[in-house]
Structure 1
Amino acid sequence: MGSPTLMTSSWFCVVAVLAVLGDAFLPFLPSGTLVILAVLKTSHSTQAPFLLAAAVAVASFLGDVLLLAAARRGGRLLRRRLSRSPQLAADVRRVQRSLESRTSRAAAAVVIVARFVPGGRTVLDLAIGHSANRSRTFLHWCAVSALVWACYIVTLGWLDSHWFNTTWLSLAVSCAAATAISTAVARLVRRSRQLALVAQLDEAA
């Protein structure tokens, strides 16, 4: 039988991967925090970060695929959900317009950036799944964004695990850094949106 430490670390990894899979549907799940904690719990293994990053990337992409499929097939259910949440509906429409008005390369940037905005992944998947565009064209960019985010969050936890001697301090610093980065990205997105709106008003004037 494996050691208790190894079994505990494995359970942390399983929970973290499941949280990443589920936070496409439930964006309030602390998936990033759980992944960082799993990294810290497996810091004794040199191969664990690579395996965990791969598992997180696959789970993240699979969550996108499942939510896209649900959005495509559950049209009535999705419309009911959007009608109960005006803010979510407005965000979905905004992302749809953004994707439709941009080049394929710019749309790819939207897909990748959305992964770093709190709740952005859910809004993006709903927007793609609820639009007339074929979601298949966005799947490869969803895969890229899943890999980018997985490498980012695992690397963040790994770096802090080697900079600090205690797990709780590494976890606190990693979570604070992840929150700060997500907040900064969200502010940049809002700023870009405001500038685009001002430009549209200037053109209309």
Structure 2
Amino acid sequence: MGSAALASATLVTSSWFCVLAVLAVLGDAFLPFLPSGTLVILAVLKTSQISGAPLFLAAAVAIASFLGDVLLLALARRGAPFVRRRLERRPQLAGSVRRIQQALDGRTSRTAAAVVIIARFVPGGRTALDLAMGHSPEPSRRFLRWSALAALVWAAYIVTLGWLNSHWFNTTWLSLAVSCAAATSISAGVARLVRRHRRLSIAATATAAPETVG
């Protein structure tokens, strides 16, 4: 195979990886088990030698992430049957939705934006967040502003992570392994901090309750 044909085949393969990654990001609002982060990192590694590819991929990932939020939010607002069934069948998800609604209730714009961005880094957090806002009296426009910001932050983070490791290591499999391990560790760390904050908030509320009664 000639060099031109090889380059063309590589470009086609890389394009398919990018399409698959973008579709996974779009869909993981509905199906949080999709390995969207892994697929984005793999797409970055496959296109890291193409000039400008990481920037275009980051933009596509951010748009797909935002559109996924818009679609799930719209379905939740309209009371789509599958949304109701999902909350009824998954008490843990329903509990997460309630906690996010409480976290956003009465918050300032800056604090609410932080909650939306942090939810992007917690496994399943994006789904719970979209459903929470879908059942909230808050106007959608306000949430979508934060969602767009969160999509940009997450896309920049995951693409940069893959791009950096593609330049630090000489093999794709090692770059992928290190990138995925780093992304998993960061997500686990954020989830741990969120759980700790929730426990402290519950403890503070329980401590303040007797004082209020007294």
- Relative to the length of structure 2, the TM-score reads 0.93
* Corresponding residue of 1:40: 45
> What stretches of structure 1 of length at least 5 have no aligned partner?
none
Q: CA deviation at 1:74?
A: 2.4
CA deviations on 1:99-121 (whole Å, 9 max, x unpaired) are 10422211110000000000000
* Corresponding residue of 1:194: 199
Q: Aligned residue pairs: how many?
A: 205
Quick one: distance in 2 between partners of 1:12 and 1:79? 33
Q: CA deviation at 1:136?
A: 1.6
* Corresponding residue of 1:173: 178
Quick one: distance in 1 between partners of 2:166 and 2:51? 12
- 8 A contact 1:96–1:128 mirrored in 2: yes
Given the alignment of the two structures, is residue 72 of structure 1 paired with residue 77 of structure 2, yes or no? yes
* Corresponding residue of 1:120: 125
7, 11, 14: which is aligned to 1:6? 11
* Corresponding residue of 1:110: 115
Percent identical residues:
74
CA deviations on 1:93-140 (whole Å, 9 max, x unpaired) are 111111104222111100000000000000000000012222221101
Quick one: distance in 2 between partners of 1:6 and 1:76? 41
Moved more, 78-87 or 31-40: 78-87
Question: Relative to 1, partners in 2 of residues 1:15 and 1:75: Cα closer, same or farther, differing over 3 Å?
Answer: closer
Moved more, 173-182 or 191-200: 191-200
Q: CA deviation at 1:46?
A: 2.5
Quick one: distance in 1 between partners of 2:70 and 2:54? 24
Q: Which amino acid aligns with 2:209?
A: A
Given the alignment of the two structures, is residue 147 of structure 1 paired with residue 146 of structure 2, yes or no? no
- 8 A contact 1:157–1:174 mirrored in 2: yes
- 8 A contact 1:111–1:142 mirrored in 2: yes
Quick one: distance in 1 between partners of 2:173 and 2:39? 13
87, 90, 111: which is aligned to 1:85? 90
Q: CA deviation at 1:79?
A: 2.6
* Corresponding residue of 2:103: 98
Which stretches of structure 1, 4 residues or longer, exceed 4 Å deviation after superposition? Answer: none
Quick one: distance in 1 between partners of 2:38 and 2:57? 14
Q: Which amino acid aligns with 2:12?
A: M
Of structures 1 and 2, the larger Rg is shown by 2
Q: CA deviation at 1:76?
A: 4.5
* Corresponding residue of 2:21: 16
RMSD: 1.2
3-state SS in 2 of match to 1:3: helix
- 8 A contact 1:40–1:167 mirrored in 2: yes
* Corresponding residue of 1:182: 187
- Relative to the length of structure 1, the TM-score reads 0.97
